A and B are shown apart, each in its own frame.
Chain A
């Protein structure tokens, strides 16, 4: 079923777009390999939806170029772009049956009826909803509607598949099933796919690569694990995954490593992100699971505020003597309890390189 013909690369080349005077997309370049599943991740208003609409052709970008399989398609109207879209609300045609919905794009392209119905059958098999062919969208559950929307988008063998917040309307249990399902279908169809989402877990779990956007700018475009482990900006660090944030003064610089003195006393080593000079005020980020209780002399003293055993992990909220508050997470051993509030402890990074140092804004 996989058709390499439909596997096309997508290049967004220096795209900039304004709504009036406000900059919605600011010089974004994304080079996406054929067959890849990429997530555009960011909070609302970050420009990800604008970018999706630019790719689909609903918006003509102010500057830059959309290039599919090496060919610029900027001059093409949406209906000539062969781009499949699954909308957040699925946008199934309410007055057509499931089969007619799936056949819609084929009919619009003048495909003959026999091919249409064969293709519809194939698509419904793919999304495992063959039995629903004669139903109307309103007779389907949310998950079923989404799969039909996917079948409809894929039926025309699009060069690019765009999914706009595909799981936002689904309840939590169904969400994971559908994420797996879509990933399966995408692998089978081999279609280059872009998911627009504000949900970092969704992005990290599904995407081969994640593009993090903030205020119209591309903050980082990398594999999901890399985005999590090596965030390239303070924004990415705090938006993707949980992070503890402290402020401090950069005492020493050694290549990409730096030493920061913390307000309550004590010093931590960390990775410098961006050019920083000794003596600068900086923000440091460290994820809760990279902190551990320690009796070492360089550990920062504090008291347990509260402890939350969360099944596989256990999270403690710690108030440092210096005043700052930190979360410390670690695996929970069988039968382990949280430390009681008020316990005196000290914390330090468990892994070297887990502390990341960003310039103060």
Chain B
């Protein structure tokens, strides 16, 4: 006797969720797309004017590029700092792991606004960093750290760090510890073992972490605007300006759609790269 396939239940059970998505995600998205094709703010005429306005404007394009570039920088920094953290976690004794996990997850348990304000306190003219530099005599006047690109990158990296570290931990803890021993017994030094064995096997975790961090960093309206200030323009703030301050819904909608497409493009490209590099890993 054959039992019913498991998936038969799954589809039916997924219906409420599918309905929820259709109502609250797909429908608004379709409306957004529709609105983006109006040429005027009173929504009377259809046309591609909003897209033309964005795509033919070097300034708007530069906002898009700098937003994506911000995402890349934050992602790289998260990876650079997150990997050793995940590595330390995986190799720590159980008790230390508990403490480390708490520290890693803590950012997720506090509000983004609170975390971002902490960075304002740290990076400010009279912040911790500047006070330290001044008291050590490394600087004569306070450095401007807040409202700089570097400040935004560092703050975002901290805020999004769990999104990178958690997938990395999962990937690293799945690696058989004997593989490292096998590698070193075969004559590979620490670096070779890392590059040839650990890194390729962690790749799925790296990919997942990078995608999450990237997506979160480029859309992080609060941190971008609070640490970046009012003069640093990234896509979310641009979008907000047009929709909220100027009530220019069609242009705002067009910005959202362009942003969405650009992000999907970046993610696809990233996935493709990942699959290529995994190609040799899994054949």
Contact = CB atoms under 8 A, between A and B. Distances in A.
B80 to A, nearest CB: 23
Mostly, the B contact residues are helix
A130 interface: no
B142 interface: no
A104 interface: yes
B200 interface: yes
Contacts of B280: 95
B181 A82 contact: no
A108 B282 CA distance: 21
Contacts of A80: 187
Nearest to B175: A94
Given A89-B176, A97-B283, A136-B283, A104 B181 contact: no
B185 A79 contact: yes
B182 interface: yes
- B176, B184, B200, most chain A CB atoms within 10 A: B184
A256 interface: no
A94 B176 CA distance: 10
B91 interface: no
Contact of A104 (B186, B189, B200, B201): B186
B231 to A, nearest CB: 47
Contact of A77 (B184, B201, B283): B184
Nearest to B188: A108
Given A94-B201, A95-B282, A97-B283, A87 B187 contact: no
Contacts of B200: 95
B178 A95 contact: no
Size category of the binding interface on chain B: 20 to 34
Given A93-B197, A94-B201, A156 B179 contact: no
Interface string A324-357: 0000000000000000000000000000000000
Interface in B158-203: 176, 178-179, 181-189, 192, 196-197, 200-201
A284 B121 CA distance: 79
Contacts of B48: none
B264 interface: no
B281 interface: yes
- B182, B186, B187, B189, most chain A CB atoms within 10 A: B186
B184 A93 contact: no
B184 A79 contact: yes
Interface string A83-126: 11101010111110100000011001100000000000000000
A281 to B, nearest CB: 45
A81 B186 CA distance: 9
Nearest to B181: A58
A95 B181 contact: no
Interface string A61-91: 0000000000000000111111111010101
A85 B187 contact: no
A56 B185 contact: yes
Interface in A266-323: none
Contacts of B189: 77, 79, 108
Interface in A38-67: 56-58
Given A89-B176, A136-B283, A108 B181 contact: no
A104 B192 CA distance: 11
B187 A91 contact: no
B178 A87 contact: yes
Contacts of A153: 185-186
23 contacts: A58-B181, A58-B184, A77-B184, A77-B189, A78-B181, A78-B184, A79-B189, A80-B187, A82-B187, A83-B185, A84-B185, A84-B186, A85-B185, A87-B178, A87-B181, A87-B182, A91-B182, A92-B182, A97-B283, A104-B183, A104-B196, A108-B187, A109-B187
Interface of A: 56-58, 77-85, 87, 89, 91-95, 97, 104-105, 108-109, 136, 152-153, 156
Sort A-B residue pairs by CB-CB distance and give the 4 closest, nearest first: A105-B186, A91-B178, A95-B281, A108-B187
